[in-house]
Structure 1
Amino acid sequence: MKVTYEVEKAAREMISASCDTMDQEDFGAYLALCAPEFQYAIRVYSPEIRRDMTWLEKDYEHMKTLLDLLPKQNRDRNPIKRHISVREVTSTNGKEEVTVRSDLQVYRVLLDGGEAQVFAIGKYTDRIDMSGDEPKLLEREVRLDSRSLGAGYHIPF
């Protein structure tokens, strides 16, 4: 089933809002974009062990707990900015859901000197429920190409 312009626009805006809220560390606003059945995962392929590695896997409640605890964590305080390029918005099995595939680049801006560095690159695969008044994120898989992120960074991409 072909995705209408309005549905595609709403999906793109929701993906963009999800990145903006995380960039601003507005975790409540991020969670408001998610459905109660939300699932989140960060995965990366390791050529050394020839397997996928799951670095983080959370449902809505566990993601909320993680985000609630972040202010108490000893972590890297350099801000990051997510840049996305939406590649494809497709209908999911004729349901009122879409799957969105996006390229992801994450930049870290050092507080000491303001230097911007490429922090991570990868892809988002998102499933979005379009049946309500507002789109809701059902699932996000972050598939990273970067495998070295250093220590102390705890905010999900």
Structure 2
Amino acid sequence: MTQRGRSYIAETTFWDYSDSHPKLLETIKTLCWKRLTDDTRLNFYQDVYLHAKDRFIKEEARVMLENALGMWRTHEPRQRLARWKTFVAYRKLLHRGDTHFRTCSAVKLVKRFRQNCKRRQEMRSLVQVAEKHCDFSLIRFTFQPWVLFWRSMQFM
């Protein structure tokens, strides 16, 4: 622990002291709370209220759904409930299969895209070689006989 000044207190020392004196933490909390503006305190309480309200709404919806499901189970015949369970199981299987298909197809797409990039590079190089040979053959079969004719005419 390095000495930083007379008013410096190490964090570990502070937490050890606050654990031994719980009223110190309460005092610090109240002092910090009193320094806040009224708008900040109001916003804090509003956030707490909204979170509690959301939790209450979700819990109420869960309980209502559970009650409705309990009533539905008692009034519905077993075969219909069994068909519903198989339907849900099939839907889960279809969803799982669909996600598996999508991930596999995405992997294949990336793989084939890389292969296609290599193929396109090879094709470009082959096209360049073909253009070079085409130009050379054009020069060879059209320009060279003309040059030969022209030179022979000059020597005459």
Provide the TM-score with structure 2 as the length reference: 0.16
* Structure whose alpha-carbon radius of gyration is higher: 2
Higher helix share: 2
Provide the TM-score with structure 1 as the length reference: 0.16
Higher strand share: 1
Quick one: higher RCO (CA 8 Å, sep 6+), 1 or 2? 1
